[in-house]
Amino acid sequence: MKSSKKGKKIVFLIVLLALIAAVSVFGKLVFWQSSYSVPKYKFSVGLFDKIIKAQDSGGTAELTEDEVNQVISLYSKEYKSGSITVKAVQAGLEGDKIKFYIPSSYKSFNVLLTSEGSISKEKDKIKYTPDYFKVGKITLPKSYVMEKLSGRLKDRAAVEQDSVVFSTKGIPVGITALSVKDDKLLVTLEKRQIDIENMLKGQFDSLKDIVKDLNLFTKTNGGTSAGSETGKTGGGTGSTSKNETSSGNDQQDFSGVIKGLNAASGSVSTGAQKSVIAQMMSVVGNMSNSSYNPRSAEGSIRAAYGKLSPQEKSQLKSAILSNVDTSSAEMLYNMMGN
């Protein structure tokens, strides 16, 4: 009798230990690479040149893995839906497949989601057909994930059969074909004039910064200078000047723009381009003076910029975009008169 009870206890302990071991292994598989973070990518002059050349000729741009992530970084932002938070997205290119790394969190638990599949362009949509979805090292049922996605995707994305499709509406370039081959993303673009300003307006997540920072630069069309325009409320009792609202933050913003322009100067190849940048640095450096009127200086910038060749203009703009935040870049483009 005692021997029977002892045997049952041993069996119970073995089962308990097995369950603990199974839970432990499952936990390690689920939370594999849970601390994974996406590095920061910076949109480069080289990538910008590739896009310009491909669109000018209606040709195909061959993007490396790093360049694909530069593009993703412009549009990717943290996304929350219920208890799930998608922190960032990173792409990897392997043969003719594209793989996505998506560090996320569910409530307070960090996990790494991954998915690999093929990508293509069909009509006015970009189509991603996944081979699998994983959380950590655990493969999730594809039908289950697609069902969940169909209820969460909004705006320009949707689930169609066994694929996730994204509308190309609003993308500032015309994509006619898309595929992965030999570890590169091949993007064939429609031949047309590239509009850098439209790439900035409404496309980058920092659009709100353009509105926020409008007070940093003058709009020459109105003939007003930074620091001189006043804001008014009804009855004229609430008027305030930009000079009164300026702060140390503005000074810091100006110095950041100047630093970026200095870096851009090192990215261009001709003295004429460097001269345009030097004149812009001078204008920005004087912006902190409320009595400064940049109209004549901006006229000189426009004249110098107008003498550049189309190739020099494209290289100059891409150098600025690569080294200055998008809101400030838009204002600098206005200085040049495009």
d(C-alpha 295, C-alpha 221), whole Å: 10
- Tell the residue number behind the tokens 């509009």, with chain if given: 195
Determine the pLDDT at residue 329: 74
pTM for this predicted structure: 0.58
Average pLDDT over residues 217-239: 37
Coil/strand/helix, residue 193? coil
Q: How far is CA 320 from CA 88, 255, 258, 271, 287, in A?
A: 26, 15, 11, 16, 19
Res. 144: pLDDT tops 50: yes
Which residues on neighbouring strands pair with residue 191, listed in sequence order? none
Average of per-residue pLDDT across 148-153: 79
Task: Provide the mean pLDDT of the chain.
Answer: 76
Q: How far is CA 310 from CA 2, 43, 289, in A?
A: 95, 21, 34
Most confident of 29-43, 209-223, 224-238, 247-261: 29-43
- Average pLDDT for 228-237: 38
Q: How many CA atoms lie within 13 A of 129 on its CB side?
A: 11
Instruction: Please name which of 38, 185, 188 lies closest in space to residue 97, comparing C-alpha atoms.
Output: 185
In degrees rounded to 5, what are phi and psi of residue 104?
-140, 175
CB 123 within 8 A of CB 174: no
pLDDT interval class at 237 (50, 70, 90): very low
- pLDDT above 70: residue 243: no
Q: Tell me if 280 sits within 8 A of 297, measured CB to CB.
A: no
